[in-house]
Amino acid sequence: MELRDRILDAAAKVYSETGFRGATTRRIAERAGVNEITLFRHFGSKTRLLHEAIRCAGVASNLCALPARPADPRAELATWALTTFRELFARRSLIRTAMGELEERPDLLPPDQSHTVCAGQELHGYLERLRAMGMIRAEVDLMAATMMFMGTLFADAITRDIIPAMYRQDPEQSIVHYVDLIARALDLKES
């Protein structure tokens, strides 16, 4: 692993554990196994380093697209929900920290780049296609349904490990149930 990437990786980890103020240059350097001064030589300042580290750590590794022509909606929704959940769950620590500091430091997390927002738009477009094909109830409010499904996945991924008492079953099983409930709420026709 290149030194620069090692530093960015360490910075993102320390940040998601301790926040901006807690992510001191000493801690980041120690975590990266690098002299503290190397950080400044490479990135100029702590702020610029964390900006880049969070930007890199925030990009989705595998973007999960819903098909342009729905074929098997229930199965497509299920796999999409699972990959979206996994993406959110993998970054849960970073998301929690960044959300907590977003009021104080809004520039650290560009909102239009947020994975959640993109996923929501993707889902909304897919539901519109389903409705156009007459596969879901016509009267349903698609925006509310989108936010409901996204919110469910988001809340589960972000709170599951901090209030485990509320989650009796494993994530995959929960998501199957979520998909089932959403399908019934939309009155989804089976293909």
Partner DNA sequence: ACGGCAAGCAAGTACCCGCTTGCTTTCGGA
Partner DNA sequence: TCCGAAAGCAAGCGGGTACTTGCTTGCCGT
As separate numbers, helices (DSSP H) first and strands (DSSP E) second, the chain gives 9, 0
Task: Give yes or no for residue 19 binding a copy of itself (CB under 8 A).
Answer: yes
**CB of 40: closest distance to DNA in angstroms?**
5
* 91 DSSP assignment: T
Task: Give yes or no for residue 69 binding DNA (CB under 7 A).
Answer: no
Task: Give yes or no for residue 89 binding DNA (CB under 7 A).
Answer: no
- Among 40, 52, 185, 189, contact with a copy of itself (rule: CB under 8 A): 185
- Among 19, 31, 40, 185, contact with DNA (rule: CB under 7 A): 40
Give the alpha-carbon dihedral of 127, 128, 130, 135, to 10 degrees. 100
The closest of 101, 99, 100, 78 to 153, measured between CA atoms, is 78
Task: Give yes or no for residue 155 binding a copy of itself (CB under 8 A).
Answer: yes
Residue 46 binds what, of a copy of itself, DNA, none (CB under 5 to 8 Å, by partner type)? DNA
CB 8 within 8 A of CB 86: no
Q: Which stretch binds a copy of itself (CB under 8 A): 2-10, 28-36, 43-51, 159-167?
A: 159-167
53, two tokens? 């580290």
Give contact residues for a copy of itself (rule: CB under 8 A). Answer: 17-19, 21-22, 93, 96-104, 111, 114, 116-117, 120, 140-141, 143-145, 147-148, 150-156, 158-159, 162-163, 165-169, 174, 177-178, 180-182, 184-187
